[in-house]
Chains A and B, each alone.
Chain A
């Protein structure tokens, strides 16, 4: 190896100083990037609290917000895996409906009823793996494949219940849909749906940041050709991420079914994919892949939930809620672009 011992000491200290400065700048930049949309979320919370005369920061309301964010958080976590590879999954809403239908149907069978939740999750996983196989093995564009399954799986969801609403008032584990986990008796509790969502986020973080597979996911999104040449099994990574997205959509279906004691193949999960994608984008994950974090996605999902909740609290009409939400999304991402541009110079 080249001998570096002869470098003059003066140059070495100058180098060290410059390096220390660069490290500091790097850290500040990382902090800004990590904080991402968190200031926006906090501003929204504070603003709504003020506008609603102090009705936002109450234990009850925060519980509602967390519960409303739960299903979208789970879908968005799966979507984060997909978008990190540079793909997209438009079919999560339909998969959620089909999984809920499959789960509810099983839950009504006396001897298999308790298995309804695993069945819902596995149904989602199955559809996700099919998406992934079509994308990875036949090399079809993700947008096209999942656009197709958006429609096809919606049809299957309707078939599963013979196009009716399936009810099961005595569905096992109904508590996950409506119960809460008591943290401090009588003072603090957290809805089970939110507990599940948080667990999903934690496991996603673990996979993305602490496993070999996680690095491979970022690598495939960052540079697919380089990943292939570096010996990464790109096809396996792609099947995995679409599988995860499908599986989490299945879990989301189970969460909805437990909450509603019912599912309708036509209505359930309509346009959920849009909210999930929005959460991921708000969270700062790059649409071309390779850059992003699961914590950003959590913040993104919370922003969406806080917006809906806050606009209702402040009495904004349903129609204007759409307009405002849309504008906030565009504004937030524009802000993000601007912020990153300022720090992009190296």
Chain B
């Protein structure tokens, strides 16, 4: 192989005496896709921030770019050294046009006036090369998440970056958009870029990675070449132990058969959901699959009264029930775990204790008003023990926890009401491998205890791993259902066929 484009040797970083990164080596070659994996807190983002210039590494390590020692300093340092980072949360200004975003910070001006025309022409060829289907003058606010990602990539190419770092780029993308992104990433590889690809998702690493490097607790665990990339090997490297059964499904769906808990009939909101009906039985885990934008989250919002419906009715344990607000849903025993825990779920400044107890404060209160602090404390302690939430104590603000622990705190709030129906929207998004497996086992135990569970997920292996049957949505309709049988397991192909509308093509 040719000389490496990026070489990191013995790079460390500590914060106030705590080592976030310990003597990590990383070698990346031009024209390769280098997957970087590790649980949350393993040091991936610290490493990335060193490459971007946001953090300065501890003395002693060495970073070479194209063989020359590089000093990356300040937020623009990474870009100057030819490194661009595309963050999970995209860093575009939605109120500006595509061209203005690409030129942000390096605007072209003519005698002090902004040269909009020149800028538009300047980005044209790059957008074309990326196969963009929008104009340089389009406002970013009008673009989909996938299109925004293209703008980020265009910005990186425009600064002539040689190394492109992507942090979980498919988190907000639909399956189709992800496929297009993968094709583009392969094209960039062919053009000679080095791509560092950070992801939690095994299927993506399979599909893309030429090499995988795994970090754990700030240390380099090792690298695997393409032919050695296997899920169990990577998981073992990430968590440092064998994960015998990653997905846990011990509950017996037959147990609750014939006892429908939640029945939704003809739900519609007039935009994204067009007459959907579904039933979830006691003790059953039902998947709700579909492409992003198929209306799964919107349907869940209709069921719990978080959005106004124009038609549809609900039955809970056979009785008609009218739900107009999420509060009424909770009272009836229907709990919904949002897909966006930071924006719609948690109160990041409030303690874990308050976050966990929020839904039952009124029920527990003394004289109807006064907090029962002992009961709240007890409940929070139980949740911490039962769901193995890792934080210093129940009093710390929820915002300081890792993604997996935040998710467990939010889940504890819902479990506090002892729900009959639990709707989980992307329950393991942004959650590390260890916590993922714990969440699966919580779901499994709830099903065993008779809870009716509906899981919305874009992670097909996850849906197949934990669900008894899968309802598939496509553009606002229920496209069909895939069942697990004695002889035939659930397959990604069957689900994708329904989700994309190609199920009749095989026949």
Residues of B within 8 A of A231 (CB): 325-331, 359
Choose one: B306, B336, B350, B365; the contact of A222 (CB below 8 Å): B350
- Cα–Cα, bound, A227→B395 (Å): 19
Determine whether the beta carbon of B338 is less than 8 Å from that of A19.
no
The chain A residue sitting closest to B372, CB to CB, is A212
Determine whether the beta carbon of A291 is less than 8 Å from that of B365.
no
Please tell me if A219 contacts chain B, counting CB pairs below 8 Å: yes
Determine whether the beta carbon of B350 is less than 8 Å from that of A218.
yes
Please tell me if B438 contacts chain A, counting CB pairs below 8 Å: yes
Residues of A within 8 A of B325 (CB): 228, 231
Choose one: B338, B350, B393; the contact of A290 (CB below 8 Å): B350
- Cα–Cα, bound, A233→B365 (Å): 17
Q: A212-B365, A229-B338, A231-B359 are in contact. Are A223 and B348 (CB under 8 A)?
A: yes
Q: A1-B445, A213-B369 are in contact. Are A223 and B326 (CB under 8 A)?
A: no
Please tell me if A26 contacts chain B, counting CB pairs below 8 Å: yes
Determine whether the beta carbon of A26 is less than 8 Å from that of B395.
yes
> Total number of A-B contacts with CB less than 8 angstroms?
102
The chain A residue sitting closest to B439, CB to CB, is A2
Q: A1-B386, A1-B445, A2-B442 are in contact. Are A228 and B326 (CB under 8 A)?
A: yes
Choose one: B328, B349, B362; the contact of A291 (CB below 8 Å): B349
Q: Mark A209-236, 1 if CB is under 8 A from B, else 0.
A: 0111111101100110111111111000
Q: Is the interface of A mostly helix, strand, loop or mixed?
A: helix
* Chain B residues at the A interface, C-beta cutoff of 8 Å: 15-16, 306, 325-331, 336, 338, 343-350, 354, 357-359, 361-362, 365, 369-371, 385-388, 390, 392-393, 395-396, 400, 413, 438, 441-442, 445
In the complex, which of the residues A26, A211, A230 has the most CB atoms of chain B within 10 Å of its own CB atom?
A230
- Cα–Cα, bound, A222→B354 (Å): 12
- Cα–Cα, bound, A2→B400 (Å): 23
Determine whether the beta carbon of A215 is less than 8 Å from that of B388.
no
Determine whether the beta carbon of A226 is less than 8 Å from that of B346.
yes
The chain A residue sitting closest to B343, CB to CB, is A225
The chain B residue sitting closest to A23, CB to CB, is B392
Residues of B within 8 A of A13 (CB): none
- Cα–Cα, bound, A191→B306 (Å): 51
Q: A211-B371, A213-B369 are in contact. Are A223 and B343 (CB under 8 A)?
A: yes
- Cα–Cα, bound, A26→B386 (Å): 24
- Cα–Cα, bound, A227→B330 (Å): 13
Q: Mark A278-294, 1 if CB is under 8 A from B, else 0.
A: 00000000000011000
Q: A22-B392, A215-B358, A219-B358 are in contact. Are A230 and B369 (CB under 8 A)?
A: no
The chain A residue sitting closest to B16, CB to CB, is A345
Question: In whole Å, how far is A234's beta carbon from the nearest beta carbon of chain B?
Answer: 10
- Cα–Cα, bound, A216→B358 (Å): 8
- Cα–Cα, bound, A70→B326 (Å): 42
Q: A26-B392, A230-B326, A346-B400 are in contact. Are A222 and B370 (CB under 8 A)?
A: no
Choose one: B344, B413, B438, B442; the contact of A225 (CB below 8 Å): B344
Please tell me if A4 contacts chain B, counting CB pairs below 8 Å: yes
The chain A residue sitting closest to B440, CB to CB, is A2
- Cα–Cα, bound, A1→B343 (Å): 27
Residues of B within 8 A of A15 (CB): 390
Determine whether the beta carbon of A222 is less than 8 Å from that of B388.
no
Question: In whole Å, how far is B433's beta carbon from the nearest beta carbon of chain A?
Answer: 14
Residues of A within 8 A of B385 (CB): 4
Determine whether the beta carbon of B371 is less than 8 Å from that of A215.
yes
Residues of A within 8 A of B343 (CB): 223, 225-226
- Cα–Cα, bound, A214→B348 (Å): 17
Question: In whole Å, how far is A252's beta carbon from the nearest beta carbon of chain B?
Answer: 25
- Cα–Cα, bound, A227→B354 (Å): 12
Q: A1-B445, A226-B344, A231-B326 are in contact. Are A215 and B395 (CB under 8 A)?
A: no
Determine whether the beta carbon of A1 is less than 8 Å from that of B442.
yes
Determine whether the beta carbon of B387 is less than 8 Å from that of A215.
no
**Top 8 nearest A-B pairs by Cβ distance?**
A231-B327, A22-B392, A222-B347, A212-B361, A346-B400, A1-B386, A231-B330, A211-B369
Residues of A within 8 A of B15 (CB): 345
The chain A residue sitting closest to B413, CB to CB, is A230
